[in-house]
């Protein structure tokens, strides 16, 4: 159950009539009237209830051969995620996800890495993956492909940056499971081909795709759509509100 911070009514998230994001957390309301009251003074009402921090999963190429312009753009994406006080989730790998985690780290944010390994030792030595920018690393022992499902299902929103076949697999999971998905244009890889890939699916999974070459506009628009619309059914495993 969640609690409306205005009227203190308890209800299932699927019964919420509105939500709002404040300091990276999602608050649920029984009506737009309570939502409006909250937005007038969120600092007054937010401490009265618990709310979960929203998570943004960033999936992309683990190659360390990154053009400087793309690396800078993906680091800016991390800075924007941190500035919204969202929690970053990545596969704890090198490459573009690491660049994003660096952006979060240097902007004072929080990152969680979903490792394919069984331990820190295996993470560092077998998978040659970084650990220096994460507050938490979850060791799945699932291998590179196995941890992809955990990545996606742990993310409220998913952003695709660059990427090759592995990232395409993560995109397919996110699409099939009805996630809100952002495409950071101008990062190469599969991001250049997603429109035609999606058109070939001929399938409505409930996923919503947002495209932008500006990382700040992309996260801002995704946050807006999630809190106004996509919260009704954030994945295929959630019943729709109402």
- Average per-residue pLDDT in the chain? 96
Average pLDDT over residues 90-110: 97
Q: How confident is the model at residue 242 (pLDDT cuts 50, 70, 90)?
A: low
Residue 182 lies in a domain: yes
CATH number for the domain including 140? 3.40.50.450
Q: pLDDT-based confidence at 173, cuts 50/70/90?
A: very high
Residue 98 pLDDT greater than 60, yes or no = yes
Does a structural domain hold residue 156? yes
| Residue 56 confidence (pLDDT) | 98
Structural domain count of the chain: 2
Query: Is 242 a domain residue?
Result: no
3-state secondary structure of 228: helix
In a domain, residue 238? The reply is no
Tell me the Cα Rg of the chain: 18
State pTM to two decimals. 0.95
Q: Residue 192 — very low, low, confident or very high, per pLDDT cuts 50/70/90? A: very high
Domain identity same for 34 and 64: no
Nearest residue to 163 via CA among 128, 188, 183, 194? 188
85 is a domain residue:
yes
Q: What are phi and psi of 216, to 5 degrees?
A: -70, -45
**10/82 same-domain check:** no
In the block, residue with structure tokens 């793309």: 70
DSSP state of 239: P
Which range of residues forms the domain containing residue 43? 2-52
| CB 9 within 8 Å of CB 3 | yes
SS3 85: coil
Q: Are residues 63 and 162 in the same domain?
A: yes
The residue-averaged pLDDT of 85-107 equals 97
Q: How many CB atoms lie within 10 A of CB 136?
A: 12
């Amino acid at each position: 159950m969640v609690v409306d911070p205005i009227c203190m009514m308890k209800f299932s998230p699927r019964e919420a009539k509105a939500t709002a994001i404040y300091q990276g957390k999602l608050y649920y309301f029984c009506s737009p009237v309570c939502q409006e009251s909250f937005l007038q003074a969120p600092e007054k009402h937010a401490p009265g209830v618990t709310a979960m921090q929203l998570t943004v999963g960033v999936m992309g190429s683990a190659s360390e051969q990154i053009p400087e312009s793309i690396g800078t753009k993906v680091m800016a994406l991390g800075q924007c995620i941190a500035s919204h006080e969202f929690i970053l989730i990545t596969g704890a790998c090198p490459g573009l996800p690491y660049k994003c985690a660096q952006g979060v780290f240097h902007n004072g944010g929080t990152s969680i890495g979903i490792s394919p390994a069984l331990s820190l030792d295996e993470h560092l030595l077998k998978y040659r993956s970084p650990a220096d920018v994460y507050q938490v690393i979850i060791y799945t022992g699932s291998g590179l492909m196995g941890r992809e499902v955990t990545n996606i299902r742990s993310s409220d929103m998913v952003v695709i940056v660059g990427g090759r076949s592995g990232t395409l697999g993560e995109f397919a999971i996110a699409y099939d499971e009805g996630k809100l998905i952002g495409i950071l244009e101008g990062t190469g890889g599969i991001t250049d081909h997603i429109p035609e890939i999606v058109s070939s699916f001929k399938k409505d999974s409930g996923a919503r795709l947002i495209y932008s070459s500006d990382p700040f506009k992309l996260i801002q628009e995704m946050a807006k759509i999630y809190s106004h619309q996509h919260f009704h059914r954030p994945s295929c495993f959630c019943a729709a509100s109402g």
